[in-house]
Amino acid sequence: MDPVSLALASLCVFLGGAVKGVAALGLPLVSIPLLAWVVGLKSAVALLVVPMFGSNFVQSFQGGLFLANLRRFRVLAATVLVFTLIGTRLLVRLPQHVLALVIGLSLIVLPLVIHFQPSLVVSERQRRWADPLVGAVAGLLGGIAAYYGPPIMLYLMGLRLTRDEFVSAISLLYWIAAAGIFVGVLGSGAASLATLGLSVAMLLPTGLGMWLGQRVQVRLGEAAFRHLLIAVYLVTGTSFLARAIL
């Protein structure tokens, strides 16, 4: 990667880290579409694999809920991991415009569903079938292009978690999905050791962005926090549709 491309990639990752620091998600949502214009979609996923793994691991301990969430969401987490490994196989086989179209539509449709149906609530009884279903969909999207976020985000919002519970739980599930992507891109040949070395270097702009974003998060109320989540998904989904069409 030449110096200009490296600088642009670092800026893309910094912006994604800043959004993640505010909303507990948004690193791939913001960084992947920006990086895709610089290095291509498949290389963008590989370049972001280490920052996704590291940033979500740190945030999963927020509120001291790591072990409690691991027990509570063990079925969902296991399903996400398995289907992420399957999805990474599709990453190297599907054309980029097809990937962009699928991702763009999912990022726009799913948030709109919950926005116009705010009374949607997932009960503990419904989790018996919803956990594996959501895990499978999220895992496939995650393996294809690191977009495990929309189904998991909507599902956790339906469980009506508090902000701290939401941040810890979603970061734990994202961390497990990122681990699946890490293993999957290596096993499928989607990333080389050189690319993973650059991915490690992306930890620095990611950490700086998250630090800045977390300074903003503490000032947000619950309503503003939820509105920000929806806005991030809609903007990113639109950018992917534009990429698929252009």
Q: For 5-15, how does the pLDDT look when each residue is reduced to its tens digit (9 = 90+)?
A: 899 999 999 98
Model confidence at 222: pLDDT above 70:
no
Q: Which among 55, 10, 61 is positioned nearest to 210, based on CA atoms?
A: 55
**What's the rounded mean pLDDT across residues 190-219?**
82
**Confidence at residue 190, expressed as pLDDT on a 0 to 100 scale:** 62
177 or 223: whose pLDDT is higher? 177
Model confidence at 191: pLDDT above 70:
no
Q: Which among 19, 73, 25 is positioned nearest to 52, based on CA atoms?
A: 25
- Give the other-Cβ count within 10 Å of 189's Cβ: 9
Q: Are 33 and 96 in contact (CB under 8 A)?
A: no
- Of 46-55, 148-157, 186-195, 234-243, the least confident: 186-195
220 or 166: whose pLDDT is higher? 166
The model's pTM is 0.73
**Confidence at residue 65, expressed as pLDDT on a 0 to 100 scale:** 83
Q: For 93-116, how does the pLDDT look when each residue is reduced to its tens digit (9 = 90+)?
A: 777 777 778 777 877 776 677 667
Helices (H), the chain: 3-23, 27-39, 41-59, 66-72, 74-91, 96-116, 127-145, 149-158, 163-188, 193-201, 203-217, 222-245
Q: For 37-95, how does the pLDDT look when each residue is reduced to its tens digit (9 = 90+)?
A: 888 777 888 888 888 888 788 878 877 888 888 999 999 999 999 999 888 887 767 77
Q: For 123-163, how does the pLDDT look when each residue is reduced to its tens digit (9 = 90+)?
A: 888 999 999 999 998 898 888 777 777 788 778 888 888 87
Model confidence at 240: pLDDT above 80:
no
**Confidence at residue 218, expressed as pLDDT on a 0 to 100 scale:** 63
**Confidence at residue 119, expressed as pLDDT on a 0 to 100 scale:** 67
18 or 185: whose pLDDT is higher? 18
Q: For 17-32, how does the pLDDT look when each residue is reduced to its tens digit (9 = 90+)?
A: 888 787 766 788 788 8
Q: Which among 97, 99, 197, 107 is positioned nearest to 143, based on CA atoms?
A: 99
Q: Are 41 and 163 in contact (CB under 8 A)?
A: no
The domain segmentation of the chain, as residue ranges, is 3-245
- Of 63-77, 157-171, 173-187, 226-240, the least confident: 226-240
Query: For residue 57, what are the contacts with CB-CB under 8 A and spacing of at least 6?
Result: 171, 175
